[in-house]
Amino acid sequence: MHHYLKHAFLIAVVPLVAGLLVLAPRWAFMAPLFLMAFHVALDMGTSRDTTVPSYRFPRVVDAYLYLHIAVTVFCLAMLLWFAAGPASWLELLGASFTVGFLISGSTLVGHELTHRVTDRFAMLAGRVSLALVGDAQFSISHVYGHHVNVATAKDAATARRGENLYAFAVRSTLGQYREAWQIERRRLRGRSRRARALANRVISGLGMTAVVLAVFWLFAGWRGLAAYALVWASTKFMFEAVNYIEHYGLVRVPGSPVEARHSWDCSTRAACNILLNLPRHAHHHADPSVKYWALRPTEGSPDLPYGYIAHIALAMIPPLWHRFSAPRLAEWDATMATPGERELAALANRLSGHRLLVRAAIPGERPSPIN
Amino acid sequence: MSGRDAMDHGVRLHDGRVFTVKAGETLLEAALRCGLRVPHNCRVGACATCRCKVVSGRARSLVDRAYALPQEELGNAVFLACQTLPLSDLVVDWTLQPGEPQLPPGDDPES
């Protein structure tokens, strides 16, 4: 029973909090803080979860994904109702920001479903899940860009050494759109102009988001549009923060096999259970067709010791993040990297412009690896 | 799973090695299960490392091959082993050079 419930946090708690916050909008800003604190406490205060239960009814844990889409629609509807009502702009700001935070799990769900490239229904549901938070392009750039180019300079969604979270979020957002657009153009080359426009999945994804925008505009005018824009920004930020910590600073020789060492893995309980095992990231890259409940922790991948939310919080304060990550990257270079990667890493350290990393590029000045 | 072939199929490689693809398995999954060393990497049908030519027999691609293969190879029976189901017994030439990934196209080289 417990195994079935452990991935149900989002669909159980998110609609509850969304309901509460339209009733008590003054406290809206507290909800993300409270949820993050809960997540961190669970990560730090309980043992790691390395279990891979086998499910007799995998359809149950699979259904969570589809239920989450309904939860997202419910949250957006609550926000729309709130925006159309008499709430002050400040209350609307808080509610929108928080709803965005709450439904950022849509990107997890969209990610899981759009990897099922051979299942048309899952693909459509996944793209809807992503489009609800304005990011349907991810279904293209992630599968056909990120999975090929991960940990190389070609990949928009791999954070470079010394890059701070905020700069990364902007570069990655724009870069992913650019990749998705190029990938679709390439796939559709040779077709007529009209066929290209109709079949282009970046365009159809934006179209789905445009429908959401239109509904917000129709029922709540400018307040509705502003609310949805904030939802988009807050979801996107959480999502890019996850992208940031998944591969930060790791390097790979282009064309060489993607291995366990090219993803930061994380086995803390809240991260794995709440975030649908996305933190078991090395296994996901080793075999992207594995469903979320069957992902395993991977030996030989670098470890994020404190859990996803704690690391995101660290990344939000760049000086702290660099102090945390520089020695860990030095450790990675020394113990995991191939000779070719070590050269790329030294170059990345020099280019980073960050003193902790530049120093690591000078022999004998390496910050002592963590024990 | 729906749409998948319910039969096992035999595959003979260019060098004479033979293996069986079980129902629902991709070419790559079967080759790896049989312990063959074959080129592969991303396993999502994007990097084109596992591309191979179906010399005889029929196969079905699970994904749109245009994502990863150039136009001329599409009409030339080139498949991505990680996304391909045999529909009959096959003869496969798996010696194609694992070319540069096609995606994303024509932009900045590594610096």
> Band of the pLDDT at A242, cuts 50, 70, 90?
very high
Q: What is the dihedral of CA A175, A205, A132, A142, to 10 degrees?
A: -40
Domain ranges of chain A: 2-316, 321-371
> Band of the pLDDT at B74, cuts 50, 70, 90?
confident
Is residue A155 within 8 A of residue A146, CB to CB? The reply is yes
Question: Under 8 Å CB-to-CB from A352, ≥6 apart: which residues?
Answer: A160, A161, A162, A163, A358
Q: What is the dihedral of CA A311, A317, A323, A326, to 10 degrees?
A: 60
Interface test mutation site (partner B, options A116, A118, A258, max chain B beta carbons within 10 A): A118
Distance from CA of B102 to the nearest CA of A (A): 9
Query: What backbone torsions phi and psi does residue A198 show, to the nearest 5 degrees?
Result: -70, -35
Question: Under 8 Å CB-to-CB from A216, ≥6 apart: which residues?
Answer: A80, A83, A224, A225, A227, A228
Query: d(Cα B89, Cα A164) in Å, to the nearest integer?
Result: 53
- Residue B108 resides in a domain: no
Side chain identity, residue A297? P
- Closest to B103 (Cβ–Cβ): which among A148, A152, A254? A148
pLDDT at A366: 52
pLDDT at A11: 96
> Band of the pLDDT at B15, cuts 50, 70, 90?
confident
Query: d(Cα B81, Cα B92) in Å, to the nearest integer?
Result: 10
Global pTM reads 0.90
**Whether A148 and B42 lie within 8 Å, measured CB to CB:** yes
Q: In what order do the strands lie in the sheet with B90-93?
A: B18-21, B9-13, B90-93, B51-56, B78-80
Which residue numbers of A have CB closer than 8 Å to B's CBs?
A: 115, 117-119, 143-145, 147-149, 152-154, 178-179, 182-183, 185-190, 254-255, 257-258, 286-289
Tell me the chain B residues in contact with residue A144 when contact means C-beta distances shorter than 8 Å: 44, 46, 67-68, 103
- Closest to A257 (Cβ–Cβ): which among B41, B46, B105? B41
Tell me the chain A residues in contact with residue B44 when contact means C-beta distances shorter than 8 Å: 115, 117, 143-144, 147-148, 288-289
Q: pLDDT, tens digit, for every residue of A10-45? A: 999 999 999 888 888 888 889 999 999 999 999 999
Residue, of A162 and A27, whose pLDDT is higher: A162
Q: Are strands B90-93 and B9-13 parallel, antiparallel or unpaired?
A: parallel
DSSP A17-37: HHHHHHHSGGGTTHHHHHHHH
Residue B70 belongs to domain with CATH number: 3.10.20.30
**Is it the case that residue B101 has pLDDT exceeding 80?**
no
**Whether A186 and B66 lie within 8 Å, measured CB to CB:** yes
Range of the domain at B84: 9-93
Is residue B103 within 8 A of residue B80, CB to CB? The reply is no
Residues forming a β-bridge with B12: B18, B91
Structure tokens at A81: 């109702």
Q: In this structure, how many other beta carbons lie within 10 angstroms of the beta carbon of residue A36?
A: 15
Q: In this structure, how many other beta carbons lie within 10 angstroms of the beta carbon of residue A51?
A: 11
Q: For chain B, how many structural domains are there in total?
A: 1
Distances (CA, A) of B78 to A62, A209, A320: 34, 36, 50
Query: d(Cα A14, Cα A12) in Å, to the nearest integer?
Result: 6
Is residue A328 within 8 A of residue A302, CB to CB? The reply is yes
Interface test mutation site (partner A, options B43, B61, B100, max chain A beta carbons within 10 A): B43
- Closest to B43 (Cβ–Cβ): which among A119, A189, A288? A288
Percent of the residues in chain B that have a pLDDT greater than 70, as a whole number: 81
Mean pLDDT over residues A300-320, rounded? 96
- Closest to B104 (Cβ–Cβ): which among A115, A179, A289? A179
Residue of A nearest to B74 (CA): A187
Q: How high does pLDDT run on average in chain A?
A: 94
**Is it the case that residue B103 has pLDDT exceeding 70?**
no
Query: d(Cα A53, Cα A50) in Å, to the nearest integer?
Result: 10
- Closest to B46 (Cβ–Cβ): which among A143, A188, A257? A143
Is residue A364 within 8 A of residue A271, CB to CB? The reply is no
- Residue B83 resides in a domain: yes
Local structure of residue A144 (DSSP, 8 states):
I
